[in-house]
Structure 1
Amino acid sequence: MHTKAPPFPPAILQGRHPSPLLEAYFELHQLKHLFRQGWLRVGIPRDTCESVAEHSFFVALLCLFLADGYFPEADATKLVRMALLHDVGEARAGDITPHDGVSREEKLRREREAVEHLFSRLPRGPDYLALWEEYEQGTSFEARLVRQVDRLEMGLQATVYEHQGAGDLSQFFTSVHRALETPELKALLAELETLRPGD
């Protein structure tokens, strides 16, 4: 797994017993350094490659804005919480892509093990785990919406990279098209396509 820096925590926590909140923070800090591996695979330079933390932050922002502007029936707080939690398992499991030769089941097992470990130490851990499971299983409108926004954000980032000279990233747009179900998000994607270089 390619990262900007080695995992934290080093010696700072050895022999100490910090509060679960501090321990969780230092473990999740890895998400700031964990590159989104798919971008590296297509040649995005490390100095401009987004991290998992950056991706999750923008998914959460998009969920907030979409709830307020497009989906008033959605629980905005739930959307944002789910978006912030949806990739936390990658702090331990890594950003596993379809090109890594790991089955969907194995990827899910690794991430579930990671989130169970992380959330087990936090006061509202069971609630966080339930939200993460709901997202993974797509059992609510909010979960299905966050899953779509996760892909839409990838299309937005691909557009940025194309304008920075990355070349044709149509393969990522193909994935976005497959994931989107709601007319509102499909319309946003259609508008986004017009902003790509050459359109």
Structure 2
Amino acid sequence: MKTKAPPPIAHLAGRATLPLIEAYLEFNHLKQLYRQGWLRVGVPADRCESVGEHSLGVALLCLFIAESWFPEADAFKVVRIALLHDLGEARVGDITPHDGVDHAQKHALERRAVEQILGKLPRGAEYLALWDEYEQGSSFEARLVRQVDRLEMGLQACVYEHQGMGDLSQFFASAQNVMETPQLRALFEELQTLRPPTR
């Protein structure tokens, strides 16, 4: 798994500290962890986004989309889920479909990681329940975050195509498959029109 630097939690070297500091050093690794799918298609490391950058993009999009287009959604819950959805990758890395890890195994690895990171915090069980909700797609809010997660990937693919990273159609196809709501389907169709004409 390619990263910018080793996990910051290693700096503790077994020393005890406050739970919030320990949790921060765990999730800080998302800033060091490249989104592996972009590296796989040739985006150079110096231009490749981190999982932390992706998660910020998802959270901001979720805020804007939930509050503007989905008044029936609990926007606070949507943003909370968005902030938590990639947390397990701080320990297990950004496992992609090309890594040969089946969905059940990936879920088990990430859930254990999230449980260990959040278990340090006073409201850890509540946060873990939100992460589970996302994984299970058991609420409208969780399913909305899943769609926005892929939308953000499509937006980033469009940026990379304009920066000369080649034809990233596979990422658009993957994103299009999960767009359920008419509003996000329309937004995604508009995004498609913004791609560079020669790919």
TM-score by shorter chain over 0.5: yes
Q: How many residue pairs get matched?
A: 198
Q: Which residue does the alignment assign to 1:111?
A: 110
Q: Which residue does the alignment assign to 2:56?
A: 57
Q: Deviation per CA, 1:162-190, whole angstroms, max 9, x where unpaired? A: 00001110000100110110000000001
State the TM-score, normalizing by the size of structure 1.
0.97
* Structure 2 unpaired stretches of 5+: none
Residue 124 (structure 1) aligned with residue 118 (structure 2) = no
Amino acid aligned to 2:99:
D
Q: Which residue does the alignment assign to 2:4?
A: 4
Counterparts of 1:149-164 in structure 2, within 5 Å, are: 149-164=148-163
Structure 1 position 16, deviation (Å): 2.7
Matched residues in 2 for 1:150 and 1:15: separation? 34
Structure 1 runs of 4+ with >6 Å offset: none
Counterparts of 1:8-157 in structure 2, within 5 Å, are: 8-11=8-11, 13-14=12-13, 16-157=15-156
Identity across aligned pairs (percent)? 68
Matched residues in 1 for 2:14 and 2:93: separation? 26
Structure 1 position 8, deviation (Å): 1.2
Amino acid aligned to 1:157:
Q
Q: Deviation per CA, 1:26-78, whole angstroms, max 9, x where unpaired? A: 11111001000000000001011000000000100000000121111110100
Structure 1 position 3, deviation (Å): 0.3
| Secondary structure of 1:198's aligned partner | coil
Matched residues in 2 for 1:154 and 1:141: separation? 20
Amino acid aligned to 1:142:
E
Matched residues in 2 for 1:109 and 1:67: separation? 29
| Secondary structure of 2:79's aligned partner | helix
Q: Which residue does the alignment assign to 1:189?
A: 188
Structure 1 position 15, deviation (Å): 5.1
* Structure 1 unpaired stretches of 5+: none
Matched residues in 1 for 2:104 and 2:139: separation? 21
| Secondary structure of 1:10's aligned partner | helix
Worse-superposed segment, 142-151 or 14-23: 14-23
Amino acid aligned to 2:89:
E
Amino acid aligned to 2:19:
P
Q: Which residue does the alignment assign to 1:170?
A: 169
Matched residues in 1 for 2:63 and 2:169: separation? 27
